[in-house]
Every structure is written in structure tokens, then in C-alpha cells.
Amino acid sequence: MSEVNSPWLIVGLGNPGPDYAANRHNVGFMVADLLAERIGGKFKRAQKAQAQIVEGRIGAPGPENRRVILAKPMSYMNLSGGPVSSLRDFYKVPVSNIVAIHDELDIDYGMLRLKLGGGDNGHNGLKSMTKAMGADYHRVRFGIGRPPGRMPVADFVLKDFSSTERKELGYLVDRAADAVECLMAEGLERAQSTYNS
């Protein structure tokens, strides 16, 4: 199957369970939830992996319409690679058609950066994915900024967005979902020039 005809695997990174749902670390899940809503799907447990998935199509009818598997690993962040590589194998997705949506400390809140490959920058979800299948997948990096003062990074990412941040969060998640759709339909360069901030 050529990469043009291959499905895309869009992975929102986060931690399962209601205690984590609104954490900064779970912004990948938030974007995946919105994409599922856009295609009219509901997440269900995957048969072949420790993940929840939605299958559908993204894009206008025609050549830009892409088959997509949206996934939320249910393994906790630092073990995301196992479920993602199982889904990749089951659906026969080339690594270049995998997109990880994740929180990024080194970018200001709400800024987006799209890229292909690279390091994990200390992000445990990316570290696990890269260990499982190499680094040549796409990333949609959603800026959450650095922790204030001397707050440890682990505490910061596992806290909910602040009330000020939440005022814009819906708009920013929407924009990140748009960026994923643009990446799939029009390619990385176009998505970068439109959404990298």
C-alpha cells in the first residue's frame, strides 16, 4: 500500500482516567476528542491495543479525503509506545503517517509547532514512542510554557490549566485540530507555514 493510500494514525498523548482529564499533559487527548467529534465518531476500546480509537475519514470528499485512526493510548504517558506500535502494525500505517499531538514545555502557552522527527525533549510519551518505532513520525507540539518559580516540571504538567489559560483553551485546541487536518491534507510545509507560531 503506497503512503498516499495508507491510513493515518493520529495519536493524542495523555493519561487515562478522570483525575488527569483536564491536566496540561492531556492536551493531546483534548485535540483527539475534538477531531473525533468533527468526524462524528465516539472512542471505543481497540481490540488489538491498549488504546481507545475512532476510525473515520478526514477532509473534503475527493483526493484530500484521508482514512484516519484517531487513538488515545490507555497505558499512561510513559508507556505510549506499546499501544501506538500495535496500532501501527495492525492498520499497516507507515511511520511517516503517524502524528503525535502532545504538550510542549519549551513553547509558550498556546503556540503550535509542527515537525517531522527529532528528539523527545524529555517528554515521556515521545520517548516511549521513539523507543518503540524510531523518531520519524510527525509531532504537533502544543505549547504549555515552563512552570512558574521552582515548581517541578512533573507537578506542573499534571496540574489543570489555569483559569486564565482555560479562557483560550477551546480556541487553541480547535486550532491544533485544524493543524492536524492541514498536515494530512496539504503536507507538513503548508501546515508549518500556516500554523507554526
Burial class (CB in 10 A: 0-12, 13-18, 19+), 28: buried
Residues, the chain, total? 197
**Consecutive H or E run containing 124:** helix 124-133
First to last CA, the chain: 34
Q: What angle do CA 47, 53, 55 make, to 5 degrees?
A: 105
Please confirm, yes or no, whether 25 is among the known catalytic residues.
yes
Q: Which three cell numbers stand for residue 59?
A: 477532509
Burial class (CB in 10 A: 0-12, 13-18, 19+), 61: exposed
Burial call 174-195: b when 16+ CB within 10 Å, e when fewer: ebbbbbbbbbbbeeeeebbeeb
Which one of the listed residues 25, 102, 123, 138 is annotated catalytic? 25
Give catalytic residue positions. 25
